[in-house]
Amino acid sequence: MKMPVALLLLLALCNGIRVFGEKSNGQCDHKLTLDPRPHTVSILEFGAVADGKTLNTIAFQNAIFYLKSFADKGGAQLYVPPGRWLTGSFNLTSHLTLFLEKGAVILGSQDPAHWDIVEPLPSYGRGIELPGRRYRSLINGYMLHDVVITGDNGTIDGQGLVWWEWFTSHSLNYSRPHLVEFVSSEYVLVSNIILLNAPAFNIHPVYCSNVHIHNISVYALPESPYTVGIVPDSSDNVCIEDCNITMGHDAIALKSGWDEYGIAYGRPTTNVHIRSVHLQSSSGSSLAFGSEMSGGISDVQVEQVHLYNSLSGIEFRTSRGRGGYIKEIIISDVDLRNINTAFSATGYYGSHPDDKFDPDAFPVLEKITLQNIIGINVTMAGNFTGIQDSPFTICLSNISLSINSGPSTSWICSYVFGFSESVFPEPCPELENSSTSSSCFSILKPNGRAAVL
């Protein structure tokens, strides 16, 4: 089925990625432009059927194989019109735009036989949930350059309910798949779409550079087990902005590998900018760091965020044996509503991939600044539980929380140091009595660079 020329010209406006301009206050301030894709085809041209029942995996695979031939000719676009397009897992290619029209729904098959089995990520050494291999994600990119998933608020629905049931009943032989995963790719854009009901993670860029995610909505049922929205993992130059995310577990979680495998792989998550997002988490954290952070997490700027109806607002997670670091983090201009624990940092979170981890690999958590934060209907202000052999350093500034419990439970602190000013309720003595801000992290506006003060 051929589309009218006018429609093809309109769709050609969905383009390839180009980034220009000087770095300003964060990765999201990079200028991002889109070069036209000179070639466009519809998934209908490859025999796909939009009845929600016919399996279209072959159609997607054939379409992308065909469009791969245009990689050196300016790239191409695969147009998905309105309808319900059932598919198993498939791979994208470089210089490709996957465009989902309004009313288009890509449905993940509920038959695990339609999802490939792949080797674990080297920085994890095994599946995140089970030893051994894992299910491939629904939509995948491996070693790609210039790839776009966008549309007019089209939808990718993982139909994750069956996967959640298999997970809770311990019926799976492999770790659950994600909805969208990019591995070792660069110049990735995801925008103007809706993601629903992922089996596990929704968007997982791992070992990637220059990733821009904006103007998307992500949702899973509150009771969905360990579903996570966006997971930058051992990736750099990442922007997440103007997103609405509601998850069963974490809304956004930054990671970088697991224990000895993450240490050996040695790729950090760094230069991440998150702003203008609305995050909600039922059983986890609106914004989480770790606990798999053995490759390191640093140079993260979070601003103008709204966190609500969550078990935890902002949480830093690690454990003895992780190694690695979480440092040079600044989180500012935050609105908290209906949060159990506003801030949490723990050195006793999560498990280990096997018994080969080094118990003397202590993680470092330092140069963390939380500032300009208002919270309403918060149960506990903060719970900072560091590690005796590797205490945490955290700085608090200009924070006002409306606590709905007694003052004796506002803060819990152990093995944590730092600095605080203009914080209510008054924080722990370990922070309250510090006399210097030299261990704090801040943004210097003139050149946009972060610095230790």
Phi and psi angles of residue 265, each rounded to the nearest 5 degrees, phi first? -70, -40
Residue 97 is predicted with a pLDDT of 97
Indicate if the alpha-carbon torsion angle 47, 53, 55, 56 is positive or negative: positive
- What's the rounded mean pLDDT across residues 423-441? 77
* Domain extents in the chain: 5-249
> CA–CA separation, 27 vs 448, rounded Å?
10
Chain centroid offset of residue 379 CA: 26
Q: What is the DSSP string of 56-109?
A: -HHHHHHHHHHHGGGGGGT-EEEEE-SEEEEE--EE--SSEEEEE-TTEEEEE-
Judged against a pLDDT cut of 80, whether residue 173 lies above it is answered with yes
Phi and psi angles of residue 375, each rounded to the nearest 5 degrees, phi first? -130, 140
Homologous superfamily (CATH) for 5-249: Single-stranded right-handed beta-helix, Pectin lyase-like (2.160.20.10)
Residue 60 is predicted with a pLDDT of 99
pLDDT tens-digit profile of 98-113? 999 999 999 999 999 9
CA distances from 114 to 106, 118, 138, 202 (A): 14, 13, 9, 18
Judged against a pLDDT cut of 80, whether residue 391 lies above it is answered with yes
pLDDT tens-digit profile of 412-428? 999 999 999 999 999 99
How many residues does the structure list for the chain? 453
Which residues make beta-bridge pairs with 329? 300, 368
Structure token digits, residue 213: 């995610």
Which residues make beta-bridge pairs with 141? 182
pLDDT tens-digit profile of 300-330? 999 999 999 999 999 999 999 999 999 999 9
